[in-house]
Amino acid sequence: MNKSGVSIMRAMALRSFGAIGVMMLASAVPVNVQAADKFSIGLPGVPPVFISAMVYTAKEGGFYEKYGLDVTVKPFNSGVGAAKAVLSGSVDASMSPTAPVARMISNGNVPLIAVQGFEKPDWFLGSMDPSKSKCEDLKGQAVGVDSPHGARWTQLQNMSRSCGLFPDKDIPTVNLSSNVGAAMVAGQLTFGVLHLDDIPVIERESGKKLTIVLEIEKTAPGTHYLSLVTNSKKLAANRDKLVRVVAAHIEAIKFMYDPANFKTVGGYAKPTGRKLEDATAAVKVFTDFGYWPNGHSGLDQKRFEKTVKIQAIVGKKTKGKSGIKPGKTPVSYEQFADLSIWNDAMALVKKSK
């Protein structure tokens, strides 16, 4: 046989071995393997605020995967923007502030439903100028918020009403998503609405002591912070997925509360923009604070009803320009929350162990 014939024979043999190899690999794959179910969650802030560390822990720690989910995370300029994306159908669920969501449901009868909650708000209003340390000092001064009628804007409203001032009437606002602290460090703003984990970062990077002007738990104690919401259509179509999403969150939160995992969680939280050292410290601060609901739904009825009551008062005082409009029926707890999702998720967690 000439060299050409030998080459042809070798090529045919290699192709045969290749085909056999492919067949062997195919036969090694279990026939019952199914693709993970896709699900999307909108997060508040660009970059996302630190409460989103729970979602990143569930994703990077394999908790969504455990429950057969392929979750896509989509940050929005604010939690209100994320809730609007839920209504439009561009995401399946969002972590959105309870007060604006309650206002949206009450004013527009929109079909948003909460399936998990995050009860304790950690909002502060900080000042870079120690001589401007009173609520009255806000009059005419620019304050950093996330977006018009977003979470930070709403909490500015809740805090500043203690001295009779209102955002965009007495207090100019600057929309910065989650970058309020960075603007204060850069000297662009004196005042900003902040989360608890913003404070040490601002003080370290600016070299200045931040003055706390107002705290939400002093001006409006007992309100509800944030909820995982979906819309009624998505709930009907994706109920099983939602149960598994919340089950993953339950397990992720338990993991986060173990001090041995603080640094790991800090690493998972990298998309929030925090350095590892700051993120690790924030995990401890927020687990001590009870930020993520560990072993319960986080949908406290009293906190929710206090939040709605304040929104109704604000709506009356502003003649419907803010808050729940006069003449509109405030959303009830039964309309707002579906506790069956969390209950079924907890049962699933117990069953999976």
Across 302-324, average pLDDT: 95
242 vs 229: CA distance, rounded Å:
10
**Architecture of the domain whose range is 37-121+223-352:** 3-Layer(aba) Sandwich (3.40)
Looking only at the bridges linking them, the beta strands covering 191-194 and 173-175 are: unpaired
Check residue 276 and give its pLDDT.
Answer: 97
**Of 231 and 21, the one with more pLDDT:** 231
Check residue 27 and give its pLDDT.
Answer: 37
Q: Do domains 37-121+223-352 and 124-219 have the same CATH topology?
A: yes
User: 155-209 pLDDT, tens per residue?
Assistant: 999 999 999 999 999 999 999 999 999 999 999 999 999 999 999 999 999 999 9
Answer yes or no: are the C-beta atoms of 184 and 205 closer than 8 Å: no
Structure tokens at 171: 């207090």
Across 269-293, average pLDDT: 97
3-state secondary structure 77-91: CCHHHHHHHHHHCCC
**pTM as predicted:** 0.86
Token pair 């002591």 is at which residue? 209
Looking only at the bridges linking them, the beta strands covering 112-118 and 226-231 are: antiparallel
Q: Give the H/E segment covering residue 194.
A: strand 191-194
Q: Please give the backbone phi and psi of residue 239, each rounded to the nearest 5 degrees, phi first.
A: -55, -45
3-state secondary structure 227-268: EEEEEHHHHHHCHHHHHHHHHHHHHHHHHHCCHHHHHHHHHH
Check residue 2 and give its pLDDT.
Answer: 43
Q: How confident is the model at residue 39 (pLDDT cuts 50, 70, 90)?
A: very high
CATH number for 124-219: choose from 3.30.230.70, 1.10.3430.10, 1.10.730.10, 3.40.190.10: 3.40.190.10
pLDDT at 6 over 90: no
Check residue 35 and give its pLDDT.
Answer: 85
pLDDT at 101 over 90: yes
What is 261-325 written as a DSSP string? GHHHHHHHTGGGT--HHHHHHHHHHHHHHT-S-SSS-S--HHHHHHHHHHHHHHHHHTTTSSSSP
Answer yes or no: are the C-beta atoms of 248 and 63 closer than 8 Å: yes
186 vs 176: CA distance, rounded Å:
13
Check residue 34 and give its pLDDT.
Answer: 67
Check residue 162 and give its pLDDT.
Answer: 94
User: 201-233 pLDDT, tens per residue?
Assistant: 999 999 999 999 999 999 999 999 999 999 999
Answer yes or no: are the C-beta atoms of 300 and 309 closer than 8 Å: no
Residue spans per domain, the chain = 1-27, 37-121+223-352, 124-219
Mean pLDDT of the chain: 91
